[in-house]
Structures are given as structure tokens and as C-alpha cells.
Amino acid sequence: MNYITQYMSTKIKDLQFPSLNYDFGALEPHIDALTMEIHYTKHHQAYFNNLLASVKGTDLENMVLEDVLKNINNYPVALRNNGGGHFNHSLFWTIMSPSGGGKPCGDLANAIDQSFGSFEEFKELFNNAAKTRFGSGWAWLGVNSDNKLFVSSTPNQDNPLMDVTENNGTPVLGLDVWEHAYYLNYQNRRPDYVQAFWNVVNWEEVEKRYLEFLVD
Ligand code: MN3
């Protein structure tokens, strides 16, 4: 079952920790192997474990994570942090690939041009969102309920699904700008990490998500 379908229908208690479809070193030199290993096996695993622990034995374990995130204001903060953390990282691993980079094509490329003027203008907006997010958080490309693309950033493990965010919609591309995502290789140079990210973006996966989340 792919990631998207899994989150649309799976109860939190039945969620599986996702597999990584490439080696830890596969994204080098853009993202180094040790960062990937620690990020995936320690940080993401901890969000996942804490998510399951926080709902265990409660009615919440029978909820679908996406529904919880969309109404996160009604739920305990542990779900916002760990449910968001699990969702965000699960997306993050899939929208990167050793054979990534380049430009989007097809319907997504057209939508980006229509929404932002050009791919370059979109990248500049996204880069700014990633670079100016103060402290820990994420930059996003999302699609809203009017099928419009938007660029945003969120603090901590929030994401555009959450009712607490300003730009509400479904994320189709996300960049983790927590220091744990880049500090070993880039230290304080977040802009260099943001720039390098474009070399590993899996545009096929981003477009798949974009098409799947368009509202009829
Ligand atoms: Mn992270």
C-alpha cells in the first residue's frame, strides 16, 4: 500500500513505520549518509513510537491520522508534535530520490507556472519560506481546496493539513529545516542545504501527489 492510500484509511494503531526506498548514502553529496541514518532511524522513529504510545488504549488509536491532523486543535499536543512528525517525515523521504532534481513536468509544471509565474519564481518563494522559518520547522508546497498551489512554512512539526495553520491544504512537497536535517554537513548554513535539496527532489512523486489531491 502506498503512503498516500495508507494515510487516507489506516487507523493510527495500524500504521507501519515506512521503509526508505534508497540507501542512507544515496542522496550524497547533497544530504550525507550519517544525517540520513540518524534522521530516519532516530528522529523519525521516535516521532512514530511516541505517536503510538500517546494514543495506546484510548479511542484515538482507532482514528485516521489525517482526520486527527485536520482537526488538531481538538487533540492533545503530543499528537500535534508526534503525529505531525510522523506524517511530515513519511512524506519527506518519498519526495526525495537519488535520481531526483531537474524540473517538474506535465500538469504540475503547468500549475506551478500558472500559480507562481515560473519554476524559478516558485523556487525563490519556497527558498525564502525555508530560509526565513525561525527555529525549527518546514517549508511546503501545498494544494488547497480550490485546487490552488501555495507555498508556506510552519513551525515545529505542524503542516498545512492542520487547522491551526494559516495556509490550509494538502502538502505535496516539504522540506525539513530543523537543524537535525542538515547540521552535521552544513552546520549553520541552512541556505546551502536548501539549495542542495533541489538536486534530490523527486518531481514524479510530487506530481503524483498533486494529481491525487486535486479536489473533483
Ligand atoms: Mn526531521
Condensed to tens digits (0 to 9), the pLDDT of residues 159-193 reads 999 999 999 999 999 999 999 999 999 999 999 99
Q: What is the pLDDT of residues 56-111, one digit of tens each?
A: 999 999 999 999 999 999 999 999 999 999 999 999 999 999 999 999 999 999 99
Helices 77-94 and 45-55: angle between axes, nearest 10 degrees: 140
Distance 4 CA to ligand 1 centre (A): 19
The residue count for the chain? 216
Distance 182 CA to ligand 1 centre (A): 9
Percentage of the chain modeled with pLDDT above 70: 96
Query: What does the pLDDT read at residue 215?
Result: 72
The x, y and z cell numbers of residue 147, run together, are: 485546487
Distance 178 CA to ligand 1 centre (A): 6
Distance 183 CA to ligand 1 centre (A): 11
- pLDDT-based confidence at 6, cuts 50/70/90? low
Q: Given the C-alpha cell 491525487, which residue does it identify?
A: 212
Query: What does the pLDDT read at residue 7?
Result: 67
Distance 86 CA to ligand 1 centre (A): 9
Distance 40 CA to ligand 1 centre (A): 8
> Could you tell me whether strands 149-155 and 137-143 are parallel, antiparallel, or unpaired per DSSP bridges?
antiparallel
Distance 42 CA to ligand 1 centre (A): 10
Distance 165 CA to ligand 1 centre (A): 19
Distance 180 CA to ligand 1 centre (A): 6
Contact at 8 Å (CB) between 86 and 47? yes
Distance 137 CA to ligand 1 centre (A): 9
What is the average per-residue pLDDT within 13-28? 96
> Does residue 195 register a pLDDT over 50?
yes
> Does residue 142 register a pLDDT over 60?
yes
> Does residue 3 register a pLDDT over 60?
no
> Does residue 2 register a pLDDT over 70?
no
Distance 31 CA to ligand 1 centre (A): 13
Q: Give the chain's largest Cα–Cα span.
A: 50
Distance 114 CA to ligand 1 centre (A): 31
Query: What does the pLDDT read at residue 1?
Result: 41
Q: What is the dihedral of CA 28, 17, 201, 70, to 10 degrees?
A: -150
The x, y and z cell numbers of residue 101, run together, are: 532534481
- What CA–CA distance (Å, rounded) separates 101 from 149? 20
Contact at 8 Å (CB) between 196 and 177? no
**One-letter amino acid for residue 148 of the chain:** K
Contact at 8 Å (CB) between 125 and 116? yes
What is the average per-residue pLDDT within 38-59? 97
Please give all residues whose CB falls under 5 A of ion ligand 1, grouped by chain where several chains appear. 43, 176, 178
- What CA–CA distance (Å, rounded) separates 141 from 149? 7
Full-model pTM: 0.96
Distance 216 CA to ligand 1 centre (A): 32
What is the average per-residue pLDDT within 33-40? 98
- pLDDT-based confidence at 213, cuts 50/70/90? confident
Query: What does the pLDDT read at residue 214?
Result: 81
Mean pLDDT computed over every residue of the chain: 95
Percentage of the chain modeled with pLDDT above 90: 92
